[in-house]
Amino acid sequence: MLDVDRLQLSINTERVQGPEPPTFRPTLSLWPGEARELPPVVVVPFVERAGRVELSTAERSKRVTLPDDFVIREVVESENAVTFMREWGPLARAQDEFRSLPEDDRPAVSASAGGGMPRARASISLFAAEHHLRVLRALARHYLASAEGDEAGIVQAWAAEGFTATADSWAPWYWWTNHINAALRAFPMYVDFTRPDDEVHLLQTPSPTTYEVAALQLAQMATGGREVLRCANERCRRPFTRQRSSRRQYRGTEHATGLKYCSRECAKAQSERDRRARRREGGRNE
């Protein structure tokens, strides 16, 4: 029985047409029947100290809306947890660092990872932050490999992040589903309080972490049938679902159909590259 307004992801055992071995797609079980809007993340200023990041309660936090394909772009391309959190917000919770992970993936924080140091009330160990980022990258790369029909890539997505390699094609799907479900526990029905100036307030219901919001986005992408494309710019080839632009965007107006390039900048660069190639070819034919 699902809790009210709680997302739960499961494996659909209906076979999807494709090459052997058979592939499977996740489905979304949802009550009362509508996927919730992706909430903004809260970016909190912090200082790095003694293997931990100490979140500031004196400086003003801000709300940031994640790009539509954030989990397959910014997450996959991020290598440093501290840099990532400065721009996109905390990956774990200060009071319960591993709450959003499955029970069988909650590593203990050793003294060498900052666990033996006196800790501030609002702080996160670098060990926990880095672990969450590794999990997110594995989840995203798993999804990308599945979307592109790369069965070997599904296994490699986890092995590349240091998880135990396995020849069993079911194990990675178990890991993927188990981790997504654990993160989605952060989205039950609740009452929220927002000040008129939209400032994050201590009396507010605790906001989901960036890890949890990214997992929700990934679940929506995986179950919503949104096509993942590769940028046609030969020097980019990054995955994307909507075309981005450096110009001011209004939510919901981004291009999402009939696309070849991940951004207008990539389209312009490739067009110029093709134009120069045609000129060189024309010169050789004269």
DSSP per-residue letters across 82-108? HHHHHHH--SS-SS-TTTTS-GGG---
| Distance from C-alpha of 124 to C-alpha of 224, rounded to nearest angstrom | 33
Summarised one tens digit per residue, pLDDT across range 232-242 is: 888 888 888 88
Which pTM value belongs to this model?
Answer: 0.75
Kindly provide the residue ranges of all beta strands, DSSP E only, lying in 83-225, ordered along the sequence. Answer: 123-125
Please provide the size of the chain in residues.
286
Cis peptide before 118 (omega within 30 of 0): no
Average the pLDDT over each of 1-15, 72-86, 183-197, 265-279 and give the range with the smallest value.
1-15
Q: Residue 211: which of 67, 22, 44, 84 has the closest Cα? A: 84
| Distance from C-alpha of 214 to C-alpha of 72, rounded to nearest angstrom | 9
Q: Per-residue pLDDT averaged across 44-60, rounded?
A: 89
Secondary structure class of 173 (helix, strand, coil): helix
Q: Which residue has the tokens 């940028």?
A: 231
Query: Which residue type, as a one-letter code, is found at position 53?
Result: V
The contacts of residue 136 (CB under 8 Å, 6+ apart) are 71, 75, 91, 211, 214, 215
Summarised one tens digit per residue, pLDDT across range 124-174 is: 999 999 999 999 999 999 999 998 889 899 999 999 999 987 777 789 999
Domain coordinates in residue numbering, the chain:
7-226, 229-286
